Chains A and B, each alone.
Chain A
C-alpha cells in the first residue's frame, strides 16, 4: 500500500462562500487527483480550528499543513502584507495586479519573506474590493458625510480621506447597515456583498474599486511540503501556480454575474464616483502608499517597483 499524507487545511472562507468551493475544493481535487491520492486535504471552514488571524502562525509552526488567509492577517510577520493586501487606488484593472504579482516578481518577494517563517506563499487570486452604500455618492460632500464600516488599511485610508469609519465585526454588519448605524461598507466586492445580504439594505454598488490586490492567499507549511516526495512537491507547487491564473480569471466572471444578478433582482445600481472625487481619493491614497514603503527595505523595493510600473501605465 502507498503512504497517504493527510493535510489539515484551515480556510478563512465560510463554507457558503463561492471561493470555498471554487478555490479550496478545486485545489483539493486537483492535488488529490494528480498525486493519485497520496496527498489528501482535510478541509475546515472559517474559524473551525483557528481564527483567520492565527492561521499564519499555525501553518508557520507546522500545526496546520495548509491554510488560506488574507495578507492582512499576517501583518506582524510579513512587512509586504500591506502592499499585498492592496494599496488603495493603485491598479485600474485586474490584469495589472496579476502582471505585477507574477511577471514583475512581487509574488517571488512575498515567497521569500514568508519562507523566513517556514511558509510557502501562493496568491490564490487577485481581485477588486468595492464598496456598497445606501445613498449614491455624487459629490465630495456626499463622500465625506458617509459613515463606513471598514477595517485594516482601507479604514485608515477612508478616514484620512475624510469619511467617518467605524469597525464592526462581520456579524453586526448587516443590522448596522440596515438600521443606518453605518451607511456604507466593503466586504469583498459584488459576491461578498451578496453573500452578506448587503444588497438588501444598500442599493448602490460603488465603482471604481477601492483596491485591486492579492487579497486571498494559500499558505503551505514548508515542513509539510518537504516531507513529500520531490515529485509530489512539484505537483503541489504547480497546482498552486495554475490556481492563480484559473481563479483570477474565473473570479472576474463571477463578479460580473453577481453584480448583474443584484442589479436585475434587487434593483442595485452602479454608482460611479464623479471624476473629482476619484481625483481627490487618488491623491490621498498616494500619500498612504509611502507609509507602507517604510515598513522594510523589501517593502520600499516593492513600492518602487509598483510606482515604476504605474508610471509606465501612465497612471502617475
Chain B
C-alpha cells in the first residue's frame, strides 16, 4: 500500500471515530495501534508504551499542572474575579474591552510559558466565566482564549522554537529574538479584530451601561485588584529573565505567587487547596492522556513512512521559489489540522529545510512562519490540542461545535499575520539581525 493511501485511511479513521464521539485520547491511541498492526506488526505496539514513558519523562510538561494549579487558585480565591471587575470598570465603556484585556493577559502569559496548553486551561479557568457572566458572546470568548493561549509558543520563551532550532541548526537566541515582533503583530491584529467586530456587533462583547461604570473612586479602589496579579507576573517573568529559574521552574513561582495571593485574600485554607488540586489533576490527566496517545500517533505515522509522503509532495513542484514556500505552508496547515506539532516538525522539517536554504530564504524567517503555523494548528478543527483542552474546562452549555466555530475568524487573523510576515520578512529578521 502506498503511503498516500495509508495516510488517507489513517486520517479518515481518525475523523470517523472522532465524529462518533469516542474521546480523542482513545481515538488517537486505538487508530495508531490498528495501523501499526497492518504496517509494522504486533511487536511495534511496544512503541506505544515507550512513547508513554517518554511523555512521563518530559520535564517541560511539568509546567502544565503547575500553571493550571495557579489558575485554579486565582479563580477560587477571587483574585481573578476582582481582576475582571477592575478591567470592567476601567475598560467597560469600550465594546470588547474585556476581550482585549483577556488578550493582554494571554500575551503576558505567552511571555511566561514556553508551551501552549497551560495558558489555554489557565485562561479558560480565569477569563471564560468572568466574560460570559458579563454578557459576552461565547464564541467571541472561546476564540480569544484559543488564539491568545497559543501565543505561548510564539512569544519567547518557546519550546517550539527551541525544537525548531535543534532540528534546523539555527541559533536559539535568534529564533527567540525573531519571535518578538511577529508576536506583537499578531497580538495587535487580534486586538484590532476584536475591537472592530465588537464595535460593529455590540451584542458580541457589550460595553458596561454608563450607570454601572462606577465613579473614579470606585475605579481607583478597584485598581488594588491588579496588584497581586502583577506581583505574580513579576515573580514569574522576573525569575526567568533574572536567571533565577528556567521557564519550567517558573511555573512553580507562579504557584507560589498564587498561594501568597490566596493568603492576602484570607482564603488560604485546606478546602480551597484540595479542590484546586483535584481540578488540576482532572485537567492534567485529560491533557496527559491526549499527549500519550498523540505521541504514539505521530510515531506510528512516521514509522509508516510519513516523510516519504512529504518528499513525494515536494517533488516537481511548479510555481518558483514563492510557490514552493506557499506549498510548504499549505502542507503544514493541513497537517496541523490532524497531527501534533512536534510530530509535524519531525516529519516535514528534514525535507523542507534543505529546500528553504537552497532557495535562498532565511531559515529563521521560515521558522517563524512555521511556528505561527503550529500555533494555528493548535486551534484548527478537527484535532487541535487547544480545542480539546478548552472543552475539558468549559461548562456543559458550551459544545464542541461552539469551540470549532469560534476559532475560524481567529485563524483567518493569524493567516493574515503570516501573510504580512511573508511579505515583509524584516518583521521577523530585523531583531535577530540587529541583536546578534
Contacts and interface: CB of A to CB of B under 8 A. Distances in A.
Main secondary structure of the interface of B (DSSP, over half): helix
Given A14-B167, A16-B169, A42-B305, A172 B43 contact: no
Given A47-B346, A63-B44, A172 B169 contact: no
B323 interface: no
A51 B53 contact: yes
Contacts of B305: 42
Interface stretch (B102-110, B221-229, B245-253): B245-253
B242 A179 contact: yes
B300 to A, nearest CB: 9
Contacts of B12: none
A257 to B, nearest CB: 15
Contacts of A53: 57
B44 A179 contact: no
Contact of A179 (B163, B172, B241): B241
B166 A181 contact: no
Interface in A173-203: 174-176, 178-181, 195-197, 200-201
A175 B158 CA distance: 10
A61 interface: yes
Contact of A170 (B166, B167, B248, B299): B166
Contacts of B243: 179-181
A62 B169 contact: no
Given A15-B349, A174-B172, A196-B172, A51 B54 contact: yes
B303 interface: yes
B157 interface: yes
A124 B277 CA distance: 48
B43 A175 contact: no
Nearest to B300: A49
B420 interface: no
A14 B166 contact: yes
A28 interface: no
A200 B353 CA distance: 22
Contacts of A195: 166, 169
A62 B40 CA distance: 12
B166 A172 contact: no
Contacts of B163: 171
Contacts of A170: 166
Please tell me the size bucket of the interface on B.
35 or more
A200 B435 CA distance: 11
Contacts of B7: none
A200 B436 contact: yes
A178 B173 contact: yes
A215 B171 CA distance: 25
A15 B167 contact: yes
B54 A15 contact: no
Interface in B234-285: 240-248
A181 B241 CA distance: 10
B60 interface: yes
Given A172-B246, A179-B240, A181-B243, A54 B166 contact: no
Contacts of B43: 61-63
A228 interface: no
Interface string A1-40: 0000000100000111000000000000000000000000
A90 B267 CA distance: 59
B192 interface: no
Contacts of B214: none
By CB atoms of chain A within 10 A, which of B53, B167, B246 has the most? B246
Contact of B47 (A45, A49, A169, A174): A49
A316 interface: no
B319 to A, nearest CB: 26
A145 B150 CA distance: 39
B211 to A, nearest CB: 49
B162 interface: yes
A40 to B, nearest CB: 12
A176 B50 CA distance: 28
Interface string A123-149: 000000000000000000000000000
Contact of B246 (A44, A50, A181, A201): A181
A195 B248 CA distance: 22
Nearest to A171: B162
Contacts of B44: 63
Interface string A144-175: 00000000000000000000000011111011
By CB atoms of chain B within 10 A, which of A15, A57, A201 has the most? A15
Interface in B6-54: 43-44, 46-47, 50-51, 53-54
Contacts of A63: 43-44, 46-47
A250 to B, nearest CB: 18
B58 A169 contact: yes
A169 B46 contact: no
Contacts of A197: 165, 171-174
B327 interface: no
Contacts of A51: 50-51, 53-54, 57
B132 to A, nearest CB: 36
B302 A58 contact: no
Which 3 A-B residue pairings sit nearest by Cβ, starting from the closest? A180-B243, A16-B169, A179-B243
17 contacts: A16-B167, A45-B167, A47-B346, A48-B302, A54-B53, A58-B47, A63-B44, A63-B46, A63-B47, A169-B60, A171-B163, A172-B248, A174-B162, A175-B247, A179-B240, A195-B166, A200-B172
Interface of B: 43-44, 46-47, 50-51, 53-54, 57-60, 157, 159, 162-163, 165-169, 171-174, 176, 240-248, 299, 302-303, 305, 346, 349-350, 353, 436
Interface of A: 8, 14-16, 42, 44-45, 47-51, 53-54, 57-58, 61-63, 168-172, 174-176, 178-181, 195-197, 200-201
Given A50-B47, A197-B172, A200-B173, 10 more contacts: A15-B350, A44-B303, A50-B50, A168-B59, A170-B166, A171-B60, A171-B162, A174-B162, A179-B240, A196-B172
